[in-house]
Amino acid sequence: MKLVLASNNAKKLKELQALFEPLGIELVTQGSLGIPEAEEPFHTFVENALTKARHAAQASGLPALADDSGLAVEALGGMPGVLSARYATLFGREKSDAENNRVLLEKLDGIEDRRARFVCALVAVRSADDPEPLIALGRWQGEILRAEQGEGGFGYDPLLFIPELGQSVAALGAELKNRLSHRALASQDLLRQMRESWHLG
C-alpha cells in the first residue's frame, strides 16, 4: 500500500519508513509528487497533523500520513510545542536546529525545572474527506541538558536527556531510538489501528 507522507523531511521519512515497513506500507513524500506544504495554523500537534494529512490526500488522491511533532518544555508552558522547528525565528534568529537549540538553552538559563518531552501526533486518512481519521499520540519524557550531548539524530535530540537510558537522544543509536521514541510509540499505536480499521497486515 502506498501512503503519501505529508512532509519533505528526509530524516523523518527514513524513521517512519522503517517503522511502517512491517505492514507493507511504502511512504512517498508529498514533495516528490509536486505537492506544496500545507499551512499549519493550529496550536496543537493533532490539529496540524490532521490538516497536513487531508491536504496531502486531497492533492494526491492517495491515502496520506502526517506527523506533527516537537518538544514541550514544562517550565516554558509547553513551548516550543508546534513551533519547535522554527522556534528561533520567534526571536529574530534564523531557522535552524543549531539556533533553535541555542535559543532554548538561553530561555532555560537559571531555571532548575528541566522536565520536557518529545511529542508526536500521527494522523492517517484514507481520503481527504475521511470521516474517521486514525490518530495516535506518543510522548517521550526526559529533561533538558545544559549543553548538547551526542552526534546523532536531529532537532532537539542533543538536548533531551532520557534518565532511564543515561544519555541524550542524540547519543542513542538509530535502532534504539526507533524502538523507544515518541514517533515509535505513536507509530506502534497507529499500526495497531491500521490493522484493526484498515485491515492491513
Residues classed as catalytic: 68
The whole-angstrom separation of Cα 167 and Cα 33 is 38
Question: Angle, to 10 degrees, between the axis of helix 182-197 and the axis of helix 10-20?
Answer: 50
Q: Which residues contact 164 (CB under 8 A, 6 or more apart)?
A: none
The single-letter code of the amino acid at 153 is G
DSSP 19: H
Looking up cell 502526517 gives 66
The whole-angstrom separation of Cα 61 and Cα 176 is 35
Q: SS3 for 163?
A: coil
Listed residue (19, 54, 26) closest to 38, CA to CA: 54
Q: Apex CA 109: angle with CA 104 and CA 111, to 5°? A: 105
End-to-end C-alpha distance for the chain, whole angstroms: 10
